[in-house]
């Protein structure tokens, strides 16, 4: 049985189709990254799986049950948005409140230690810095000894060290058989963490694949140069003109540049830049410009 699954889930907010027939599965011992630009529908999908939103059509299941039923969420861990801790509760009190919901929660002291919160246990939640709030929010996701954790943009705003520590935590959890669903708009993060990456764009699932395969599809580079004409260059996803310059989008920029040199066509002002995820999606889906 998958830990989490959606079957043809659709959800609209007024005229906006936030999710359009999305079907996904997450197995134990797996990290699934939902990748997409802002507004792609990632948060809506997360809210459906957390039981906060009901789909208009289709079905969402966690542990084979409807996530809007409280009992279904016993093995689920999620992160609160860190802007909203109860301001007058202390860190250990917030943790105690969340632990009280689970039959066999993690040891409080051990959890605070793991997330670097031990020295802050007596601090009021309102007195935490941004990074500390983020760490508390992540600790809460693991407080109930979950089998499935759902993390919405877990590393946004974390410094490099904290990000590495969280990645270690997520991988350790996965290796012990846990399932992780995380959202990100950072391809590198999806690459570093995920066993599978699902690409969401304007509410539709464009692809679900291993990270390497996804990188081939959306890890595009932009190659700009001035030349009298454009030679035949295999492996180019898209060609544009920008003033007098050619702009090529390609997954393997090194190879394209090599071929360009070999073609003998004289060129100048060569630039190679990574392409943002948004632009890469537009290139793949053939939308835009």
Contact footprint for other proteins (CB under 8 A): 50-52, 70-74, 76, 78-81, 83-86, 88-89, 93, 96-98, 100-102, 124, 140, 144
And the tokens for 113? 């230690």
Tally of CB atoms within 10 A around 25: 17
Q: Indicate the residue among 143 and 257 with the shorter CB distance to other proteins.
A: 143
Q: Indicate the residue among 140 and 214 with the shorter CB distance to other proteins.
A: 140
Q: Indicate the residue among 124 and 208 with the shorter CB distance to other proteins.
A: 124
The span from the first CA to the last CA of the chain, in angstroms, equals: 43
Place of tokens 């299941």: 61
Q: Indicate the residue among 144 and 219 with the shorter CB distance to other proteins.
A: 144
Give the 3-state secondary structure of residue 62. strand
- Rounded to the nearest whole angstrom, what is the least distance from the CB of residue 137 to other proteins in the complex? 8
- Rounded to the nearest whole angstrom, what is the least distance from the CB of residue 176 to other proteins in the complex? 21
- Rounded to the nearest whole angstrom, what is the least distance from the CB of residue 223 to other proteins in the complex? 43
And the tokens for 140? 């809460």
- Rounded to the nearest whole angstrom, what is the least distance from the CB of residue 63 to other proteins in the complex? 11
Q: How far is CA 241 from CA 120, 223, 224, 282, in A?
A: 56, 11, 9, 16
The dihedrals phi and psi of 222, each to the nearest 5 degrees, come to -105, 125
- Rounded to the nearest whole angstrom, what is the least distance from the CB of residue 261 to other proteins in the complex? 53
Alpha-carbon dihedral angle through residues 105, 110, 115, 121, given to the nearest 10 degrees: 90
Tally of CB atoms within 10 A around 95: 24
Q: Indicate the residue among 49 and 249 with the shorter CB distance to other proteins.
A: 49
């Amino acid at each position: 049985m998958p830990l989490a699954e959606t079957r043809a889930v659709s959800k609209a907010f007024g005229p906006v189709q936030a999710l359009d027939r999305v079907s996904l599965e997450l197995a134990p011992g797996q990290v699934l990254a939902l990748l997409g630009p802002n507004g792609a529908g990632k948060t809506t999908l997360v809210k459906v799986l957390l039981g906060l939103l009901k789909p208009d059509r289709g079905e969402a299941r966690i542990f084979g049950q409807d996530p809007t039923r409280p009992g279904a969420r016993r093995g689920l861990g999620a992160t609160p948005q860190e802007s909203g801790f109860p301001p007058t509760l202390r860190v250990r009190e917030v943790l105690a409140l969340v632990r009280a919901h689970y039959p066999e929660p993690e040891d409080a002291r051990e959890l605070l230690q793991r997330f670097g919160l031990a020295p802050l246990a007596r601090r009021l939640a309102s007195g935490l810095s941004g990074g500390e709030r983020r760490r508390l929010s992540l600790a809460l996701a693991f407080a109930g000894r979950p089998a499935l954790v759902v993390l919405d943009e877990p590393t946004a705003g974390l410094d490099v060290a904290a990000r590495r520590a969280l990645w270690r935590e997520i991988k350790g959890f996965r290796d012990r058989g846990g399932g992780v669903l995380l959202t990100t708009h950072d391809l590198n993060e999806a690459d570093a963490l995920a066993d599978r990456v699902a690409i969401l764009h304007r509410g539709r699932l464009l692809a679900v694949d291993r990270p390497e395969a996804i990188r081939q599809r959306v890890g595009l580079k932009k190659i700009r140069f001035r030349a009298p004409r454009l030679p035949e260059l295999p492996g180019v996803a898209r060609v544009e003109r920008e003033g007098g310059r050619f702009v090529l989008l390609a997954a393997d920029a090194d190879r394209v540049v090599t071929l360009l040199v070999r073609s003998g066509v004289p060129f100048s002002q060569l630039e190679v830049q990574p392409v943002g995820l948004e632009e890469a999606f537009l290139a793949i889906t053939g939308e835009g410009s």
